Amino acid sequence: MISSDLINQIAHITGPDAVVSDADERRVYEADAFTLVRRRPGLIVLPGSAEQVAAIVRLCNEFDTPFVPRGAGTGLAGGALTRDDAVMISLNRMRAIRRIDLRNRIAEVEAGVINQRLTRAVESSGLHFAPDPSSQQACTIGGNVATNAGGPHTLKYGVTVDHVLGVEFVDSAGGLRRVGGEADEFHGPDLTGFVVGCEGTFGIVTAAIVRLTRLPEAVRTMLAVFDTLDDATHTVRDVIAAGIVPAAMEMMDHGVLTAVEAAYQVGFPQDAAAVLIIEVDGPSSGIERATRDVLNICNANRARTVRVAKDDAERALLWKSRKRAAGALGRLTTSYCTQDGVVPRSELPDLIREIGEVAVRHGLRIANLVHAGDGNIHPNIMFDERDPDEVRRALSASCEILRSCIRRGGTVTGEHGIGVEKIEFLEMQFSPAEIGLMLRVRDMLNPRRLCNPDKVFPDGKGCWEVRFPGKQAPV
Amino acid sequence: MRKRHVADGESAFVYEAAWMMRLLERPIVGDESRYDALRAAIRAGANVDRPIWVCGGGTLGERLPSVAVAVSAPALSEPVGYWPEDMVIRVPAGMTLARAREVLAARGQELSIDAADPARTTIGGLVASGICGSRRLSRGSLRDLLIGLTIVDARGDLLSLGGRVVKNVAGYDLCKLLIGSWGWLAAIVEATFRVRAKPEASRAIVIDLGDVRESEELAAKLLGSPLSPASLDLLDGTLARRRRVSDGAALVAGFEGLPENVNGQLARVEALLGRHGRTLEYNEYSAIRQDLSDMALGERGHIRAAVPSGQVVALVEQARDVAPGVAMAAHAGSGVVLFDLAETPQADRAALIRLLDEMSVARLIPRPVAGCEAEPMARLSADARWMLRKVKNAIDPQRVFGRGGRFDAAVGDDPAGRFQ
Ligand SMILES: Cc1cc2nc3c(=O)[nH]c(=O)nc-3n(C[C@H](O)[C@H](O)[C@H](O)COP(=O)(O)OP(=O)(O)OC[C@H]3O[C@@H](n4cnc5c(N)ncnc54)[C@H](O)[C@@H]3O)c2cc1C
Ligand SMILES: Cc1cc2nc3c(=O)[nH]c(=O)nc-3n(C[C@H](O)[C@H](O)[C@H](O)COP(=O)(O)OP(=O)(O)OC[C@H]3O[C@@H](n4cnc5c(N)ncnc54)[C@H](O)[C@@H]3O)c2cc1C
């Protein structure tokens, strides 16, 4: 419940058309892509400038009302969930690309700019914004910064933080702040790098200065088909150990590839255990040798077939199949939950084998989509949400897999974040003292806890009831 | 208690761990971890309200106040963990960069960071200064390569930040705050890096320039081309001659990777720029990179300035106009300009500083030389200072680490205790 006084004052700042207070209209905002918890925000406001965001935050402070930043709502961890006593601040109207500086290869963009739009704006100059989450047609730069988003090509190009030089944000009290800048080198702690990935827990990002990366001159995309999962994961391990840094190295197992084939007819053999999409890129000199090295490693690991995409159309088809793979899975099951964990890359063969055992033990189907070069797994656990026992087993399976990631020296989230979904797992990964230190930093920067409350950290646990173990969302 | 030479001509009291332990009222908790002595020393220092000063190799460390307790991470010579097949290594902070390189080289791998005096520079000091040299252009700076840290905080707690996987978004990435923290937040005891295979080929091409101005167009062409140089350094005539790279100003573009790739790119540089160049083999190329990093050493007088890469040449030119006696080099691809003040007349030094002030260029001046005060910490923006005070209050509220040092001064020292 938001006081009408606050609503009026916010409307005064933004104009009434930027305020959504009607109960039905607010429903649209009740979940992000983590659909298992739904909360209808008390109010949604769509400010048009950083100054408006700051003024709204100051008002919220005055009225002692929590507020939550939201980009496109494609988040997979429930980070943008907003209770009915809180104001959702949507950055969607802040879509200006303030400046493109081709000479220094940087751009200053507002938080609501869609990831892919930035790349479109600079690709005629031979540049792109390298972080390429599969949601890039919808997600915002602000959301990418808040979650430190990755994508298939982060293997070579790095995640969002590697491409952010400076951040403009509104602090939890409503002050407009800037950290970082345009230069690569900075002196003193990496404040910009720290703000990236904080899931909006102490401020609202209103703009970022990002690095633009040259498009590669030559690209070779390979498809390798394997008869056993071990052969595929050993290939991944061997490519990394050989010191080759492909632009991307993605794995789809039997469950995923059959679903994809049904949806897109890419030509994946239905009886294969796994396929790898491996891409190498760079200057044309040397690309043939890199391709050959990868092909040799695939063959040494008994690949049934390996082929290099012959043209852009075939390459695009391979990537379409990958980026929409999880969507295709939706055809096989009523519900599924996409997990996100990371292990050291040499652990991948054992972990994938263990996931197979977990599936058998719990009587479930689990299909794996893997950013294999990074050791980042997305097991999709399929279940029937009408069957409480199956739901329970899916929950246990999910938990076992994430615990295994921790045991193997990895992490419970490589790119989706903690949000509300994984608060309990944070406690498994870090000691109380380590979490205590993070909390002290948060409390210093968000002392009244009005900014995106009850997210990420254990003190928010219990505020969100998760009904099912995961989500029905493509990755 | 023992007096030891700690940092550059300055001595401080280094409390030996055994003595520190006696100072403690409570027994040391935990097992016989290798960091217990350090933890005890930090707790003891905090208990007696002495500022704690963390020392690395003292390559460019600041002058310690005599009341300080100096501690350093144990100088262990073996990695804490090394997973060559994952391309990840965890090393003790007291290990020198040279030793880390040696360990990695034995497995055909490397940490692609260039830094001053690798035999003395420690991993902890490297992370705490956050500064590195030429190859960050392609290999990334420390920020991109560091994936985890173990620290001892002011309470003496041993905490692990980040992890040992290359992708990780669980909780806050506090590692980022320790980069460039100059011993002001906590003592770093271990660091985990992603490493890479030692490139099969590593060579560079030297393009002679009639004048540094020419490098602007050449650098823009190169950086805007499909080629991917590992480093791109500019040396003015004075430095190029001193380092025997060329008779006049020169641009040095390095390439690393598969031999086909490196040689192919070297050949294309000449075609692209329409210039002939001279190829440098591995040893000469690494020696130049080392020379540039070593400019920060010694009593010569040195300024390190940071600008967006497209402004490097403009800065170099303007500097030459106002201070013709200054020798200069630049990591042109990553926007770092290095000024050597050794043979610079005092008036030129002052003029250069004025220029940097006017252009609001971020800079570090490790040591004072006549006509030029030391500025071991960059001037921080009001927002950065605001945020750093918050961070300091959260991580080291008693202000145990580095009290009264370069950071307190930069952030705005508040003798009343807590930063407001
Ligand atoms: C089909 C699909 C594919 C996906 N693929 C990937 C992938 O490949 N890689 C990957 O990393 N993720 C992926 N995701 C997850 C998601 O797209 C990313 O996390 C993305 O960065 C979220 O951006 P958003 O604009 O939708 O943010 P939202 O979902 O609106 O918000 C995400 C979090 O960031 C906070 N936030 C948003 N904007 C701001 C701001 N301006 N300031 C401060 N905090 C803010 C929110 O409070 C919330 O905590 C995928 C999701 C879907 C649905
Ligand atoms: C002002 C300045 C300019 C520099 N310019 C260049 C340059 O142009 N090129 C280049 O390649 N390198 C440069 N460097 C980096 C330098 O060459 C060393 O690599 C770096 O200082 C680390 O060396 P060290 O181990 O001797 O640390 P020290 O010099 O002993 O310490 C450096 C700083 O790190 C802190 N520190 C050391 N160890 C730890 C630890 N374990 N935990 C926490 N804090 C710690 C110290 O308190 C001190 O503030 C510069 C350094 C400084 C200080």
Pick among A185, A245, A292, A422 to test the B interface (most B CBs inside 10 A): A185
Q: CA geometry: angle at B388 spanning B386 and B394, to 5°?
A: 110
CA atoms of B358 and A230, how far apart (whole Å): 61
The rounded percent of chain A whose pLDDT value lies above 70 is 98
Atom nearest to A199 CA in ligand 1? 49
Residue A231 has pLDDT above 70, yes or no: yes
Is any Cβ of chain A less than 8 angstroms from the Cβ of B268? yes
Task: Indicate the pLDDT class of residue A464, thresholds 50, 70 and 90.
Answer: confident
Gap between the Cα atoms of B344 and B322, Å rounded: 12
Assess contact for B335 and B378: CB atoms under 8 A: no
- Contact call for B387 and A288, based on CB within 8 A: no
Q: Could you say which residues from 122 to 161 on chain A have a Cβ atom under 8 Å away from some Cβ of chain B? A: 126, 147-148, 150, 154, 158-159, 161
CA of A8 vs chain B CAs: smallest distance (Å): 31
Domains of chain B: 81-197 (3.30.465.10), 200-379 (3.40.462.10)
In this prediction, residue A468 carries a pLDDT of 53
Q: Residue ranges of the alpha helices (H) in B48-180?
A: 97-105, 123-129, 136-139, 142-145, 175-178
Taking CB atoms and an 8 Å cutoff, what residues of chain B touch A457?
171
CA angle, corner B130, sides to B74 and B44, nearest 5?
A: 40
What mean pLDDT value characterizes chain A? 94
- CA separation for the pair B282, B200 (Å, rounded): 10
A180-196 pLDDT, tens digit each: 999 999 999 999 999 99
Residue of B63, B96, B131 to mutate, ligand 2, most atoms within 8 A of C-beta: B131
Residue range B362-381, pLDDT digits in tens: 999 888 887 788 888 888 89
CB contact under 8 A, B185 and A189: yes
Most confidently modeled range among B99-103, B136-140, B226-230, B239-243 = B99-103
| Of residues A462 and A129, more confidently modeled | A129
Query: What residues have CB less than 8 Å from B306, skipping those under 6 apart?
Result: A183, A184, A185, A186, A187, B335, B336, B337, B361, B362, B363
Which atom of ligand 2 is found nearest the CA of B338?
A: 8
Domain annotation for chain A: domains and CATH numbers: 4-90 (3.30.43.10), 97-214 (3.30.465.10), 218-328 (3.30.70.2190), 334-416 (3.30.70.2740)
What is the pLDDT averaged over residues A334-341? 89
pLDDT over 90, % of chain A: 85
Residues of B in contact with A412 (CB under 8 A): 170
Angle of CA points A427, A430, A436, to nearest 5°: 85
Tell me what pLDDT residue A427 has.
92
pLDDT at A335: 85
Locate the chain B residue with the closest alpha carbon to A286.
B261
Would the CB of B301 count as within 6 Å of ligand 2? Answer: no
When pLDDT is averaged across residues B148-155 and rounded to a whole number, the result is 95
> Shortest Cα distance from A342 to chain B (angstroms)?
7
Q: Model confidence over B173-184: pLDDT tens digits?
A: 999 999 999 999
Binding-face residues of A in 327-356 toward B, CB within 8 A: 342-346
Report whether A328 contacts A273 (CB < 8 A): no
Assembly ipTM? 0.94
Q: What is the pTM of this model?
A: 0.94
Query: With 70 as the cut, is the pLDDT of residue B292 above it?
Result: yes
Tens of pLDDT, residues B307-338? 999 999 999 999 999 999 899 999 999 999 99
Alpha helices in A168-286 (DSSP H): 191-195, 229-241, 254-264
Q: Least CB-CB distance to B167: which of A159, A425, A445? A: A159
The Å distance, Cα B128 to ligand 2 centre, comes to 6
pLDDT of B9 over the 80 cut: no
Return the minimum-mean-pLDDT range out of A132-146, A332-346, B51-65: B51-65
Contact in structure between A341 and A402 (CB atoms under 8 Å)? yes
CB contact under 8 A, B159 and A456: no
Q: For residue B65, which of B127, B23, B130, B6 has the smallest C-alpha distance?
A: B6
